Structures are given as structure tokens and as C-alpha cells.
Amino acid sequence: MNTGHKGTREQAGLARTFGGWIKNPRLKFICAAVLVTSLLLPHIVVAQTAYAQDAPKLWVDGGILQSDVPPIIVNQRVLVPLGVLAKYFGVHAQWNQERRTAYLFFADGRQMALSPGSYWVWIWRESEDGTDWKFEEEIALDVAPVAVNGRIMVPLGFVMKQMGLTAEWDGQQYMVKITSPWCGKYDPSAVVAADLMPSPDIQSTHPDILALANEITSGLQSDREKLVAIHDWVASNIKYDVEDLMEPNVKKPQDALSVLKRRSGVCAGYSALTAALLRASGIPARVVNGWARQWNETWVDLLRSLPEDLLSNGNHAWNEVLVDGRWVPVDVTWDAGTVANGVFTPKLRRTYLDPAPGAFSDDHSKARPSDTPPDPNHYYFKLGEKAQQEILKLAFSFAEKRLSYYPAVGLKDGDQIKAFQLVMIGDTPEKEKTYLLECLRIEGFGWTVRSFTEVPPDYLLPSGGYTYGAMWNQ
């Protein structure tokens, strides 16, 4: 299914300094209470701003958080570079040079504005009709943010409170220690905080998301069981939005909450909702933007068909989920059904739930794909119409009654040319069994059967990503 990935659209919050409204239809959240505080450093009295030579360290989840501008101390408060913390903890931040103001977008619905030299923080909340953002209040800080070498430095305690985290001062080591709730649960080399934190498009702490995640995973113990349950719920309850795919002027929000409310979305929306439900269940999850192709097109076909923005940024989105100590790919969109002639037909499957890596990488790529195979002696290729018909005849020789099938794919394996085809045999769809037909091409003779074996119903067969000589037309 060509998903027509819309990608994450630029978020542009247009704010007045005092009062008024912010136009930002992409950010549709329900807001939570705002708590503001600052981190007091006991036993340390600093008469003036302390810079690099006196810079305290910022210790986060067992390691020092590096920044080109180190933390500073102003009036007994630690100030840290806003961008570094926001990036690590998954909070979206924007800098408006004209207004010299930093904007923070929290997943629970708050939008905040801070300016260097100003003791005030401005808070906006979503309007009743969900189309605008209305100014709500301004809160006084006891120390103003400052700009240092192009970075806005903000009071650490204030930021920690907004993120729902705590920090403590270690005067002996002259460092601030921040420990997140998930520290020690996962391998820090495999997961970053953003894989568990909410974001503007992945509102994993929203009450509706939390309630649904609890409902879906109720009674389940392992992360894998929860992943399967969340995958099946999203694939079964979200309809693919063909209008959003086909109409260039249709740009519906694809954040998790919007997709949940509409019960429809494209691949970006499927992935955002899946990630939100997984994070709400305590399972690290990412949204991956990349390239995906159909069984009947090569990577060359795909690259030639894409407009410039999708050619550069990718045409599809899926998830990576940390279960059993490893990151597994999950494409809920492709497991939800198919699109043909502008019509979405729902059909739940688990073909793209932790599939075989080789098969998944045959039609999904996080890096821009190449038009030539990485290994010239071993790659799958697109069979021509004549070869497809010959393989299909061999498949029918095994079917006594009813047969359905997937198109065959060719494989160059050293000096051998092989072909594989999935066939389903049974009196009814409910009684179908899935078989893998493997064929070998013998020069001067044609195609012959090598094996015919039963495989799981969700077996994932690679599709041909490249071309191979005359086989293209045979």
C-alpha cells in the first residue's frame, strides 16, 4: 500500500508578547496545570554570574550531559541551555529571532514563551473550538533567562518542574543530578529519554491516551504482549485516510490525539498513535521516517515517482519499539489493510510486526535507497510478466481446490537464479494454509520446483527491489 507519507509538518506558533492568540492548528492538546519553581542551591552563595571556569556539571541518568555552552549560576540558581535539555527530554522548542523569544510546546497542551532579560513566563492554552491558542497567564521567575553565546539559559528548577522531573544539587561534586523515572530500566545506549517522553505529535501523557493504553494492555504482563495488543488495536480501529493521501490540498493533523479522535489517518498518524500508546504503557517507541516501496516497483521506480520533498525526506513512516532488549520494526499501517482504486479495505495481519530483518529492509529503508543492489551477487529483483506466469503455473500444480497468491520475486544467489512465491490453499479463507514455493531457473530448460513448504500465515516474502538483466522481461 502506497501510504503517501505526509511527514511531520513545520510547527509555527505566532505569539504576541502580551495577551492575544496563537494560531497553531497542528497542536491540539488538552492542557494540565502549570507548576513553576526554581532550584535553590543550598550552601552556595554566588555574588555575580559564574561562567565556564566555575561551571557546574549537569548529570543526567548516569552521564554528563554535554553542551557547547555549560551551565551557569546566577543569584544562587543554576541556569542551563534550554535547547540541550529540551532535545534530551523530548520537549519541542522554537526560537523567534524577531521577538527574541523562546517557545516551548509541551505534550499536555501548554505553550510557553520566555525571553532573555525578562522575569516573566507567558502561558497559552487551547481555545474551546480547538483552532486557536488563548493567552492565559504570566508567571514571575526569581531569576531572568540570559543569552550566552547564542544559547538561551533558563532556570533549571523551572524547566524540571514543567517536565515533571526533579533535580538535586551535589555541592561536593559541584553538579546538578537529574534522574528520570526510567533510568536503569533500559540500556542507556539503546534508548534516550525522548523514546519514553511525550512530544507535540505523540501525546503519551494525555488522559485519553493513558486510559486507552491501560484498557488495551489490561492483564498483560510482558512488553511483547502489550506491543501485540496495541498493534492489533490500532490496525483494527484506525481507518486509512485515502482522502488525505490522494488530495494534495487536504492536510489533516496526524498527531496521536487527532488520529484517535477521527479514527483515521495516514502512516504518520498510525505511527504517532502507536508510539503514544506504547510510551503510555512504559515501552520505548520511536517514529521512523523513511522510504518504502510496493511489491511491483523497484527502488528506481519509487525514486523516479516521488516529488522533491518526499524524495529528500521519505515517503513513509513506521515505528521502532524496544522489546526483549532489542529494537524491532513495526509497520501498523501496512498491517491495517490495503488501498486499491482509491478504496481502503481493512484486514488485520501481523506481517510487519517484528518481521525478518532481511525481508523488512527489502521494502523499507531508513536511508535513501540506492538504484543498485549493495551486494551484486545476492539480491532480490523484479520478475517480468512471462516469468511471473510460469511460476504461477507451477504454483497451481500444487492446488487441488482453491488457491490465492502473492506475486513471485526473483533472487540472484551467486550464479543461481531463484524465484519465490507465497500461495494460500484452502476451501475458505478461514481454512487457508500458507505455503512457500521455491523455484530454480535452469538455463535452456526454464523454471523447476525446488521446494514447497508450509510457512506461518504472516510470513513476509521480500519483493524485488532491483532489476536483473534479461530477467526483467522474461
Angstrom distance (rounded) from CA 70 to CA 54: 10
User: Residue 156: what pLDDT?
Assistant: 83
Q: Letter for the amino acid at 161? A: K
Banded pLDDT at 202 (limits 50, 70, 90)? very high
**Strand order from edge to edge, sheet including 364-365:** 326-330, 316-323, 285-292, 364-365
Is 30-184 assigned to CATH 3.40.50.980?
no
Q: Is 187 helix (H, G, I), strand (E, B) or coil?
A: coil
Those residues with Cβ within 8 angstroms of residue 445's Cβ, 6 or more apart along the chain or in another chain: none
The cell for 19 is 495577551
Spell out the domain ranges in the chain: 30-184, 200-365, 378-472
Q: How confident is the model at residue 425 (pLDDT cuts 50, 70, 90)?
A: confident
Per-residue pLDDT at 14: 26
CA dist 131 and 354 (Å) reads 38
Mean of the per-residue pLDDT values of the chain: 78
Residue 6: pLDDT over 50: no
Query: What pLDDT is attached to residue 400?
Result: 62
Whether pLDDT at 21 is above 50: no
Please report which helix (H) or strand (E) contains residue 94, including its range.
Answer: strand 92-96
Per-residue pLDDT tens for 44-97? 233 334 444 467 887 776 667 777 788 888 888 888 888 776 666 666 677 888
Cell output for 215: 484498557
CATH class of 200-365: alpha beta
Q: Give mean pLDDT, residues 36-48.
A: 31
Pick the residue with more confidence: 284 or 12?
A: 284
Is this prediction's pTM over 0.95? no
- Name the least confident of 53-62, 64-73, 124-133, 451-460: 124-133
